[in-house]
């Protein structure tokens, strides 16, 4: 799991969805979970990170 921060404030996390979850999509297993509740799905971790960088200024990541 990665926490995503913009200007030092928590804004989202990136997780890999569990294959036994009802919402699992094998083509898009990576989830960008926004603090607002929005969920975006991606085919790779790098694609999720690239999209997270668009959330706001000075985006940083912290491994949990």
pLDDT in tens, 17-54: 999 999 999 999 999 999 999 999 999 999 999 999 99
And the tokens for 31?
């989830």
pLDDT in tens, 38-47: 999 999 999 9
Starting at the edge strand found earlier in the chain, the sheet holding 39-42 runs 39-42, 30-34, 9-16, 2-6, 59-63
State the average pLDDT over residues 1-5.
97
pLDDT attached to residue 51 = 98
Element (H, E) at 45: helix 45-52
Rounded CA-CA distance 23/16 in Å is 12
Q: What are phi and psi of 52, to 5 degrees?
A: -65, -30
pLDDT attached to residue 5 = 98
């Amino acid at each position: 799991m990665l926490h995503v921060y913009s200007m030092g404030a928590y804004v989202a996390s990136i997780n890999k969805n569990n294959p036994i979850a009802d919402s699992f999509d094998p083509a898009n297993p990576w989830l960008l979970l926004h603090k607002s509740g929005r969920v975006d799905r991606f085919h790779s971790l790098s694609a999720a990170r690239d999209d997270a960088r668009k959330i706001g200024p000075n985006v940083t990541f912290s491994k949990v």
